[in-house]
Amino acid sequence: MPQRRDAAIVGIHEYPLRVAPGVSSLQMKAVSAAKALEDAGLKWSDVDALYDTGGDQNIGGLGIAEYFGFKPRVIDTTYVGGSSFEFQANHALTMLAAGKCNVALITYGSTAHSDRRAIGTAGATGVGPATFINNMEDPWGLTLIGNYAMVKSRHMFQYGTTNEQFAHISVATRHHAMRNPEAVRAMTDLEFVGVRDVTVSDVLESRLIAHPLRLLECCMVSDGGGAVVIASAAAARHCRKTPVWIIGAGEATKYRENGGDITVSAGAQAAPVAFGEAGVTPAEIDVLMAYDSFSITVMCLIEDLGFCKKGEGGSFVGDGHLVFDDPRKPALNTDGGGLSSNHPGQRGIFLLLEATRQLRGESTSQVQNAKLAVAVGNGGQLGSRHATAITILAAD
């Protein structure tokens, strides 16, 4: 089956600061959008579809449209946590292919660090009126990070995965971060202890946060933002940069259920759809941009997307081959990931940004002759209610 060429990413920009006091999330979005459009060689007036989670303006998509001065034909404020932007990119593909719009803009901005948000340390559902969810869960006190720790514990028990194997995920992403000046500045500004490459021993000896998750297995909390411009096939051919085509898309949701396996993400449902649509296999993928809120998130996504069999993720990552200059595929999170580059609360847009850079040949940890990349976002809580979205990208 020939790969589809209905829509392509033609413009990107990542807000460079991870600590940005005095800058609002809307300002981050506006700066990023302007520069992404410039990257594409397009004007504000070319945009006729707007994708944003709607979380920073009082009336969602209407607010961001007014702030930008748009009257878009399409507004999409899909919000499913960190995977929102893969959902939105996939939705934009559908609308562009159907001729409902010509140029779509995805934006994100967050001041999570400057706001001193203690992400991961509170209960799963927050405060507010009682619902069927928080009424049954909040009284028991499980934090978000505790939830992920429970999934890691189960994975270790069920499959024999070791802490040493998990540590290789953090080692690979830090190796890439140290080649990325913006990631190095992020770690410096956030006052990381030891802004350098790390070893397996460093990970295992870092502070215990929620057993068995240690500090170097947990994402940072930063400020940050970015923008992605996606164009129809006709429009893409007239843009400044070589298009990066969206060739496969899949989304799925999962939640707690009797008899369910908490080590299986919704990616297990979404992957066959995305890879089937793209007409490629995981073995062909050069770059894997996997949501790395914690090391366990990456481990489960690697397995559930089919890079190895379920339960074999430990041996798959444990030989240290995830770095960009190893000839074995795939390279993992070549910008440094949420563990060592940025995580402002919803990291999905950065997966799309770095995947695009790789397929353009613009990454600071460039994979030689990269042709195929996967961005897989995971929003919500692994092992509980969450959504996984997969966007498969191909070089022109």
CATH number for the domain spanning 24: value is 3.40.47.10
What's the CA angle centered on 331, arms 112 and 2, to 5 degrees? Answer: 105
In contact, 242 and 396? CB cutoff 8 Å = yes
Whether 308 has a pLDDT exceeding 80, the answer reads yes
pTM metric for this prediction: 0.96
Percent of the chain with pLDDT over 90: 85
Structural domain contains residue 264: yes
Token representation of residue 152: 């890691």
Q: So what's the pLDDT on residue 54?
A: 82
Number of domains in the chain: 1
Q: Residue ranges of the alpha helices (H) in 43-190?
A: 61-68, 84-97, 134-137, 144-159, 163-177, 181-189
> What size, in residues, is the chain?
396
| Among 82-86, 127-131, 243-247, the least confident range | 127-131
> To which residue do tokens 């979005």 refer?
29
Distance of CA 331 to the CA centre of its chain: 15
Q: Is 276 helix (H, G, I), strand (E, B) or coil?
A: helix
CA angle 109, 114, 116 (to 5 degrees): 115
**Domain assignment present for 186:** no
Give me the phi and psi of 309, to 5 degrees please: -75, 155
Nearest to 151 by CA among 388, 382, 392, 370: 382
Q: Which two tokens stand for residue 368?
A: 């030689």
Region 230-244: mean pLDDT is: 97
Mean pLDDT of 235-252: 97
Encoded tokens for 18? 């991870």
DSSP state, residue 243: P
388 is a domain residue: yes
Q: Quickly count: other Cβ atoms within 10 Å of residue 95's Cβ.
A: 21
Q: What angle do CA 204, 218, 270 make, to 5 degrees?
A: 115
Helices (H), 279-387: 295-304, 313-317, 337-340, 348-360
Q: What is the pLDDT of residue 83?
A: 97
CB 287 within 8 A of CB 370: yes
Mean pLDDT over 50-63 rounds to 81
- Domain assignment present for residue 126? The answer is no
Confidence (pLDDT) at 129: 66
Grade residue 367 by pLDDT with cuts at 50, 70 and 90: very high
Q: Is residue 158 part of a domain?
A: no
The DSSP bridge pattern shows strands 386-395 and 244-254 to be: antiparallel
With a cut of 70, say whether residue 86 has pLDDT above it: yes
pLDDT range class, residue 57, cuts 50, 70, 90: low
Q: What is the pLDDT of residue 58?
A: 65
- Tokens at residue 69, please? 């001065």
Q: Is the pLDDT of residue 77 over 70?
A: yes
- Asked if the structure places residue 123 within a domain, the reply is no
Determine the average pLDDT of the residues in 303-324: 96
* 306: containing domain: 7-115+221-395
pLDDT of residue 96: 98
**pLDDT tens-digit map of 110-121:** 999 998 887 877
* Average confidence score pLDDT of the chain: 94
* pLDDT more than 70, % of the chain: 94
| Residue 337, domain member (yes or no) | yes
Q: Which helix (H) or strand (E) holds 246?
A: strand 244-254
- DSSP helix/strand/coil, 49: strand
- What is the pLDDT averaged over residues 179-207? 97
Of 6-15, 52-61, 300-309, 360-369, where does mean pLDDT reach its minimum? 52-61
User: In the structure, what pLDDT confidence band is assigned to residue 318 with cuts at 50, 70 and 90?
Assistant: very high
How far out from the chain centre does Cα 127 lie?
26
Peptide bond into 21 cis (omega under 30): no
Residue type, 258: N
The confidence score (pLDDT) of residue 232 equals 98
Average pLDDT over residues 331-353: 97
In this structure, are residues 326 and 350 in contact, taking their beta carbons and an 8 Å threshold?
A: no
Query: Is 37 inside a domain boundary?
Result: yes
Tell me how far apart the 2 most distant CA atoms of the chain are, in Å.
56
Q: What is the mean pLDDT of residues 256-280?
A: 95
- Other Cβ atoms less than 10 A from the Cβ of 200: the count is 17
* Residue with tokens 């759809």, as numbered in its chain: 273
Residue range 131-189, pLDDT digits in tens? 776 776 667 768 889 999 999 999 999 999 999 999 999 999 999 999 999 999 999 99
The vertex-186 CA angle with 182 and 187, nearest 5°, equals 125
Q: Which residues pair with 203 in a beta bridge?
A: none
Higher pLDDT, 394 or 4: 394
